[in-house]
Amino acid sequence: MSAVAHLNVPDRLILGVESSCDETGVALVSVPQDGEVRLLAHALHSQIDMHQAYGGVVPELASRDHIRRVVPLVRQVMKEAGQPLSAVDVVAFTQGPGLAGALLVGAGVACALGVALGKPLLGVHHLEGHLLSPFLSADPPQFPFVALLVSGGHTQLMRVDGVGSYQILGETVDDAAGEAFDKSAKLMGLPYPGGPHLSRLAAHGRSDAFELPRPMLHSGNLDFSFAGLKTAVRTHLVRLGWLDALPSPDDEGAQAMLADLAASTQAAIVEVLVKKTLAALKETGLKRVVVAGGVGANASLRYQLNDACRRRHIRVHYPELHLCTDNGAMIALAAGMRLQAGLAQATRDPVFHVKPRWDLSAI
Ligand code: KG4
Ligand code: ZN
C-alpha cells in the first residue's frame, strides 16, 4: 500500500537561479521523493568578456548584466526542458555569499516568479551548491567524504557526512587558491580570470624552473595561506624587470621563461592543495574525496590528486567540467537535496534579503 502511494508521488521540479558574481545561471531539476536529482536543462551566460577590459569584476556592471540575462535564460531553460513555467514547484536562488547587488537581481527575479506563479521559494548557499555539484556527474559520490572546496573566494577542507553536515577541517587564512591563480596571472599580464589562462601558459613551462614557497605546508594543521606566493611571483618579476613592462610576444626566450614562472606557480598551488587534502584524508580516515569550485577544473590539480589518491586506494570525485565554475544547476540541485533530506522548507514569503557574507557552517 505504502509502495503504491510512494509511486504516485510525482517528482518535484525546481528552478534554480544563480547570480552571485559574474555568471548568470538558470537550471531546472527534477527531484524524486528519494533517489537522484536529475538535471533537465540548464543555461549560462558568462560576463567574462565584459569584465575583461577592467581586469576584474565590476560589481555594478555585473548586476546590470544579470538583469538583462536572467529572464531570457529562464525562458530558454523551460523551452529546453519542454515544460511550462507553471510546472515549476519551487523557485530556488543563490541567497549568498557573493556581490550584494548581483545577488539581489537573482533574489528579486526568483521572488517575482514565485509570487506570480504562486510557488514557494528557497534561498541556497552558493558554496553548498559547489560542494554538492559532483552529485550531478556521471560518477556521483557517496557520503561521507572529505571535500576540497576551491573557488575564487574560498579554499576550505571539510568533512561531509551528509547533506547539511559540513565540518570545516581547515581553510585559507588569507587569499583563496583561485585568487592566487588570478593575482599571479594578472602580474604576468594574463587576462581575467587568470586561472585558466595561467594553466594554459603553464602547459609549456617547466614547473621546477623558479623557486616558490609552499605556504603552510608544514604548519601542522589543515589551513592554507596563499598571499605570500603572489608576493614571491611579484619578486621574480621585479628581478626580471618585467613588473611594469612585460617582454615582447616576439621574444621567444622571455616567453619561455614566463611559461616557466606560470608552471612553477601552478605547481606550488597544486602541491599545497594535494598534500593538505591527503593530510585531511589521513586525519579523518575517510577514503573518498570530492573536489568542487572553479579551481577544480585545473588539469594539473586533477592529475596530481588522481595520481596520489590512486596509490592510496582513495576515490576522487569532481563535478562535470562545465559545472566546476558558477552555474544554476548546482543551485537547483542543492535546493533539491536539502528538500529531499527534510532540512529546508520552501517559503511563500518573498525572501528579498540576501547574505553577501554567509558562513557555510551557519546554514
Ligand atoms: O567557483 P568559481 O566559478 O567562482 C567562485 O565562486 O569564486 O571559481 C572561479 C575561480 C577563479 O579564480 C578562476 O580563475 C578559477 O576558479 N579557475 C581556475 C581554472 N578554471 C577556473 N583556476 C585554475 N585552473 C583552471 N583551469
Ligand atoms: Zn562559485
pLDDT, residue 6, reads 53
State the burial class of residue 88 (Cβ atoms within 10 Å of its Cβ: 0-12, 13-18, 19+). Answer: buried
Is residue 14 within a helix (H) or strand (E), and if so which, with residue range?
strand 12-18
Q: How far is the CA of 30 from the centre of ligand 2 (A)?
A: 22
The three-state (H, E, C) secondary structure of 299-336, written as one string: HHHHHHHHHHHHHCCCEEECCCHHHCCCCCHHHHHHHH
CATH tag for 2-132+324-362 (out of 3.40.190.10, 2.130.10.10, 3.40.50.720, 3.30.420.40): 3.30.420.40
Q: Which residue stretches of 82-193 are H helix?
A: 100-117, 126-132, 177-187
Is the CB of 194 within 6 Å of ligand 1?
Answer: yes
Q: Domain ranges for the chain, please list them.
A: 2-132+324-362, 143-318
Please state, in angstroms and as integers, the Cα–Cα distance from residue 129 to each residue in 9, 16, 215, 233, 363, following that order: 26, 10, 28, 32, 12
Using CB atoms within 10 Å of the CB of residue 54, give its burial: 0 to 12 exposed, 13 to 18 middle, 19+ buried.
exposed
* Cβ of 170 less than 6 Å from ligand 1: no
Beta strand pairing status for 165-171 and 288-292? unpaired
Ligand 1 within 6 A of 44 CB?
no
Ligand nearest to the CA of 149: 1
297 lines ligand 1 (CB under 6 A): yes
* pLDDT at residue 363, rounded to an integer: 86
Please work out whether the CB of residue 328 comes within 6 Å of at least one atom of ligand 1: no
CATH topology of 2-132+324-362 equal to that of 143-318?
Answer: yes
Radius of gyration of the chain (CA): 21
Which residues are registered as beta bridge partners of 96?
125
**Measured in angstroms, how far is the CA atom of residue 327 from the centroid of ligand 1?**
12
pTM (whole model) above 0.85: yes
Residue 141 CB less than 6 A away from ligand 1 = no
Judge if the beta carbon of residue 298 lies within 6 A of ligand 1.
yes
Residue nearest to atom 10 of ligand 1 (CA): 152
* Spans of the chain below 70 pLDDT: 1-7
Ligand 2 midpoint to CA 97 (Å):
9
- pLDDT recorded at residue 252: 96
Residue nearest to atom 16 of ligand 1 (CA): 294
Please report, to the nearest 10 degrees, the dihedral formed by the alpha carbons of residues 102, 104, 109, 112 taken in order.
-170
Give the Å distance between the CA of 152 and the centre of ligand 2: 7
Cα(311) to centroid of ligand 2, in Å? 30
Helix and strand numbers, DSSP H then E, in the chain: 11, 10
Residue nearest to atom 6 of ligand 1 (CA): 151
CA of 5 to the centre of ligand 2 (A): 39
Find the 55 Cα to ligand 1 centroid distance in Å. Answer: 15
Cα(202) to centroid of ligand 1, in Å?
16
Instruction: Pick 143-318's CATH classification: 3.40.50.9100, 3.30.420.40, 3.10.100.10, 3.30.70.360.
Output: 3.30.420.40
* Residue 340 near residue 29 (C-beta atoms within 8 A): no
Grid cell locating 133? 555539484
**195 CB within 6 A, ligand 1:** yes
Pocket test for ligand 1, best of 295, 301, 304, 358 (most atoms within 8 A of CB): 295
Indicate which ligand has the atom closest to the C-alpha of 324.
1
Question: Which letter, b or e, does each residue of 286-319 get, where b requires 16 or more Cβ atoms within 10 Å of its Cβ?
Answer: bebbbbbbbbbbbebbbebbeebbeeeebebbbb
